[in-house]
């Protein structure tokens, strides 16, 4: 959320309120979500969002190591957010940065309220988020991808968690800031919600908004989250309808074989 000298760029929003990448003020970048793409993880999701490419993998609930970390009444949720060395323009050091450690904590805290951890005492649920390519809003995409991967892993959830950022750029309230808007803008506000009851599990803000701007930004973020939530559900449905088709095909083949034998 680094701010950059406003004078070092041309304008990001034109007189018709169109952004530099052609989007309207309240428009999301194109999003595609795929689930179940890693065979070794319990659940996984790959999220393409504009230029962001984020991979999430979930392991668990499973036996916890080291055992002394075990919680007697619930599962321990652990989260690791990492940026690959090639994910940003300047090579990112492979050593975990303070930012990655902070974001791992922030993402874990935004996912945990959705998980029925009390059903799995003394176990761990491990969430890994790899940013393969970054262009602003990767903590939000990490949350969205991770919660989709949790659902794919069959971890019991109160709801999916879905996140997106809103902010203020050149006096306008914008949905889904990309890297340049994040850096040049006056404010950036990532938000995660449980969409069913609109419970907020993450709300951060860098910069300043008036009370009225904050309310408008919050409403816009919730609308953005609702759109992304539909895509999460669609990605999960797609995988399971494919599995259903495969199972039905196998059942048909099996019953045909049985009939032939009779
Ligand atoms: N970024 C970068 N190098 C870094 C960290 C971040 O170039 O070491 C870029 C990246 O595109 C990221 C953006 O800065 O998405 C905004 O980073 P921020 O810390 O605000 O987190 P994010 O918006 O990704 O959640």
CB neighbour class for 238 (10 Å; exposed up to 12, middle 13-18, buried from 19): middle
User: Does residue 39 lie in a domain region?
Assistant: yes
**What pLDDT sits at residue 51?**
98
Roughly what angle, to the nearest 10 degrees, separates helices 138-152 and 98-111?
50
User: Does residue 61 lie in a domain region?
Assistant: yes
Domain count along the chain? 1
Atom 13 in ligand 1: which residue has the minimum CA distance? 136
> Tens digits of per-residue pLDDT, 52-62?
999 999 999 99
| C-alpha distance from residue 91 to each of 85, 98, 100, 102, 178 (Å) | 5, 16, 15, 20, 19
Atom 19 in ligand 1: which residue has the minimum CA distance? 1
CA distance 76 to 62: 10
User: Does residue 184 lie in a domain region?
Assistant: yes
The CATH code of the domain that includes 243 is 3.30.230.70
- Ligand 1 neighbours by CB, cut-off 6 Å: 1, 88, 92, 99, 134-139, 179, 182, 190
> Tens digits of per-residue pLDDT, 239-254?
888 888 888 889 998 8
Q: Which of 100, 136, 181, 202 to mutate to test the pocket of ligand 1 (most atoms within 8 A of CB)?
A: 136
**What pLDDT sits at residue 8?**
52
Task: Print the domain residue range for 199.
Answer: 14-255
**Exposed e or buried b per residue across 76-88, where buried means at least 16 C-beta atoms within 10 angstroms of its C-beta:** bbbbbbbbbeebe
User: Does residue 7 lie in a domain region?
Assistant: no
**What pLDDT sits at residue 241?**
85
Picking from 63, 73, 57, 79, the residue whose alpha carbon sits closest to that of residue 123 is 63
Per-residue pLDDT of the chain (262 residues; tens, 9 = 90+): 555 554 555 899 999 999 999 999 999 999 999 999 999 999 999 999 999 999 999 999 999 999 999 999 999 999 999 999 999 999 999 999 999 999 999 999 999 999 999 999 999 999 999 999 999 999 999 999 999 999 999 999 999 999 999 999 999 999 999 999 999 999 999 999 999 999 999 999 999 999 999 999 999 999 999 999 999 999 999 988 888 888 888 999 888 888 888 7
Q: Ligand 1 centre and the CA of 137: distance in Å?
A: 7
**What pLDDT sits at residue 187?**
97
DSSP for 114-176 reads: GB-GGGSTTEEEEEEEEEEE-SS-HHHHHHHHHHHHHHHTT--BSS--EEEEEEEETTEEEES
Picking from 107, 42, 102, the residue whose alpha carbon sits closest to that of residue 79 is 107
Q: Which of 95, 110, 138 to mutate to test the pocket of ligand 1 (most atoms within 8 A of CB)?
A: 138
User: Does residue 262 lie in a domain region?
Assistant: no
Handedness of CA 55, 153, 160, 202 (dihedral sign): negative
Cβ neighbours around 182 below 10 Å, total: 23
User: Does residue 162 lie in a domain region?
Assistant: yes
For tokens 């450690």, name the residue.
101
Atom 20 in ligand 1: which residue has the minimum CA distance? 1
Whether this model's pTM surpasses 0.95: no
User: Does residue 4 lie in a domain region?
Assistant: no
């Amino acid at each position: 959320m680094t701010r950059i000298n406003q004078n070092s760029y041309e304008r990001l929003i034109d007189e018709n309120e169109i952004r530099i990448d052609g989007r309207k003020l309240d428009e999301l970048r194109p999003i595609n979500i795929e689930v179940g793409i890693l065979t070794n993880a319990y659940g996984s999701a790959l999220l393409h969002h504009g230029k962001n490419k984020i991979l999430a993998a979930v392991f668990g609930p499973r036996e916890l190591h080291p055992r002394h970390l075990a919680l007697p009444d619930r599962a321990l949720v652990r989260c690791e957010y990492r940026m690959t060395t090639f994910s940003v323009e300047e090579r990112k050091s492979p050593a975990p940065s303070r930012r990655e450690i902070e974001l791992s904590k922030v993402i874990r805290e935004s996912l945990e309220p959705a998980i029925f951890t009390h059903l799995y005492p003394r176990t761990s649920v491990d969430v890994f988020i790899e940013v393969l390519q970054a262009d602003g809003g990767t903590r939000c995409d990490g949350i969205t991808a991770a919660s989709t991967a949790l659902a794919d892993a069959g971890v019991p959830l109160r709801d999916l968690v879905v996140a997106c950022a809103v902010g203020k750029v050149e006096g306008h309230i914008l949905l889904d800031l990309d890297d340049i808007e994040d850096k040049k803008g006056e404010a950036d506000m990532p938000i995660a919600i449980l969409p069913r009851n609109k419970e907020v599990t993450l709300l951060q803000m860098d910069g300043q908004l008036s009370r009225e701007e904050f309310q408008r930004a919050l409403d816009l973020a919730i609308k953005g989250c609702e759109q992304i939530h539909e895509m999460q559900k669609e990605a999960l449905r797609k995988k399971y309808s494919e599995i259903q088709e495969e199972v039905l095909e196998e059942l048909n083949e099996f019953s045909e074989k049985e009939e032939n034998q009779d």
